[in-house]
Structure 1
Amino acid sequence: MLRQVFSNVAANGLAVEAVDLVKDFGDTRAVNGVSLAVPTGSIYGLLGPNGAGKTTTLRILIGIIDPSSGMRRVLGRENPIDAAPEVGYLPEERGLYPSMHARDAIGFMGALRGLPIAEGRKRADELLAQHGLGEWGRKSIRSLSKGMAQTVQLLGSIVHRPKLIVLDEPFSGLDAINQGRLEEMIRTEARNGATVLFSTHVIAHAERLCERIAIIAKGAVAFDGSVAEARDRLRPIVRLRTRASDGPWRSAIPASARREGDEYVFELPEGGPEPLLKALIDGGAGIETLAIERPGLHDAFVAIAGNQTAAEMGAQERPQ
């Protein structure tokens, strides 16, 4: 039955597919029935707190470990190892030889994926120059900052021009400048036709980069869809400031409205903004300001995954 389901979802246009992945480590279930469909050419994020099962899921998808049950397909191959030459992988645990020069480290990582070492070094020079980092090529890894070394390792993950790029917590420990550089590299690879699949516990990165996300909590997928679809689970928020303190217009505001300073804050009523505006004007509210805000991904995450999971994410986002 599972193979029947898998063959049905294995349509053109998907770089990564998974159906009911389960992974047990002894008595601990790290992945609990994860199903994913990652469109080719997309930037797709696995979003969830540390310990949610994101890393284990990624490792199953690219064949580092096998699932206890379930099926996966990577770039059309049911055995992910067959797709390895076309996959770039940046693990959460970083590892470069400290004595290597940056260009040699990038070339060496390309050689591990079948790229001739001379071609890898040439492409390393091109990649470093492309991103304004040409002077890094002759520097040893031990002389680079953590952010610089992480950038070198990312370039080593893409030097063989993979069709699929898998990044496990790529922003971890980076300052704002290096985070911005990494985000732009991800966008560049997607524009060049690669599919990017990355995990993160920082909601802002997923909101800025991703076309589609999967929210993972306690080893299971709580949501899989576009960022817009996640936001659309919540109604827009109205922020209203009026000159009048009371009057017939008050009936237009939901009883659940709260006060934040001089503003009333409430969900946009089902009828939309036009009936609300008419009721406020006809009722003599004396509108000073009225703003309608679309809920952010953080609000959607709380609604989908729950306050406790969101609190765990928030704690993990703060610098240690």
Structure 2
Amino acid sequence: MQTDDEATAATSHTLDVEGAVLHYDVRGAGAGPALFIIGSPMDAQWFGPLASRFSDRTVITYDPRGAARSTRSDPAPESTPEQHGEDLHLVIEAVGAGPVDLFASSGGAVNALALLTAHPEDVVTVVAHEPPLTGVLPDRQAARAAVDAIRSSYAAEGFGPAMARFIALTAWEGELPDEPGPAPDPQAFGLPVEDDGHREDVLLSQNLVTCTSYEPDLDALRAAPAQLVIGVGAGSEGQLAHRAGRAIAALLGVEPVVFPGGHAAFLDASMEGDPDAFATALRAVLSGS
């Protein structure tokens, strides 16, 4: 995962914030707005392939609180999109590169909406790609029941069974059944069956519930001076995050932009991504094409 990241020399930095120490990386020194690329719980290393394709710009990536290099001392069991949004604001402030263009994937897209709500002056363009917001879906009750089933599974059985439920939920196409079905076999996804006793997974313990249940302030998002683009994947049609992207775009009165590939098409080709095609599409959006 580090090949593209190393090819575009990055300087790494730390930032003390309330309840965490954040690690972020800065590449290049291009003209125009810096490009901040984020996910959640995905950390900076996953965005190396995409970042390397914007060598003409200053590019910022970071590890969200609790993920990879970014340690967390906050005693609360969960982090919120509002906390993550404030972290993003403080990183932008620390780099001194604002206002920035922001590409945000999945849970990062939810956190980007929180940033745009609280600090609209920080951004020029926000591209929120497939934010998994259950509250905007017509089957929101079923979606939240499925998320609760994941959390309950994690508490009772540990990582493997809970992650198997998560993968099955994200891959489901169409509206969800009213009641979550039986848990899939973790071994079918190459996951462990036995419980190792740990309950510190950054997705399952820290972010899953607060991220998916976040309720965006639609009025604030409409009023923000920044350009807000909602992205969906051509290859994820019918899946929860794709449907949520289309649903919030409709609530905001904008047309979603269809990006090539699925939910994580920006990943390296070895992980079934196409960062060249994705970067071309993102560059077109950021240029207003």
For normalisation by structure 1, the TM-score amounts to: 0.27
Higher alpha-carbon Rg: 1
For normalisation by structure 2, the TM-score amounts to: 0.29
Structure 1 or 2: more strand by fraction: 1
Structure 1 or 2: more helix by fraction: 2
